Amino acid sequence: MKLFVGLGNPGPKYAGNRHNIGFMAVDQIAADHGFAPWRGKFQGSVSEGTLEGEKVILLKPETFMNLSGQSVGEAMRFYKLDPDDVTVFHDELDLPPFKLKLKTGGGHAGHNGLRSLHQHIGDAYHRVRLGVGHPGHKDRVSGYVLSDFAKQEGKWLDDMLRGISDGAPFLAKGDGAKFTNAVALRTGGAKKPKPDKPAPTPAPEHRAGEPVASSADDRADDRSPLQRLMDKFK
């Protein structure tokens, strides 16, 4: 069994915020893969389903971001899970918008949701870091992550979320490479095979002692040098 956790803040006020991209990710997985309806449990919302034969619990903590660890810890104890069974989807300031990277363990980099998780379950869980970009100055971070994605970012956001959903079965099986490639196929980051180069046209055979023609006109012109000179003055 795997526990996929999306981080965010509850309520319609925060639904479109950059800080809620984790909620958006697990919502997309639930919708695309026929998961059960969301229900209240573990101080959050839970949906159950299967991905490639692996049972997966989706969890959206509703304790607000800075207390997310309470909800996750409660779910882990109920299902008797280890941190290695847990994957957390969260916004990441240190990645460009709509770029994605996987990580296991390490620090929380000031992210309040991750800080809370560290306190309740340790740091050995898996993470899907969802890039939202940085506003440029630390004093602007709070307002930035608690603001909605811009309208013109809608297509990029949709592509990323659909890519995450496409790759979710691979993630459930622990195949991070196939997961990230599935996302890249949606977002345009996948490596495409280079087209075959056309074979070069072989040069005409040249025999020793023969003059080399420099152009089609030269090859067709069989006049003597004297005739060429006389023709210039006609």
The residues carrying an active-site annotation are 19
Spatial neighbors of 173 by CB under 8 A, at least 6 apart, are 51, 52, 54
Cβ–Cβ under 8 Å, residues 73 and 121: yes
Helical residues (DSSP H) of the chain, grouped into ranges = 21-32, 68-79, 112-121, 141-145, 154-172, 176-187, 216-220, 225-232
Cβ–Cβ under 8 Å, residues 120 and 147: no
Burial class (CB in 10 A: 0-12, 13-18, 19+), 20: buried
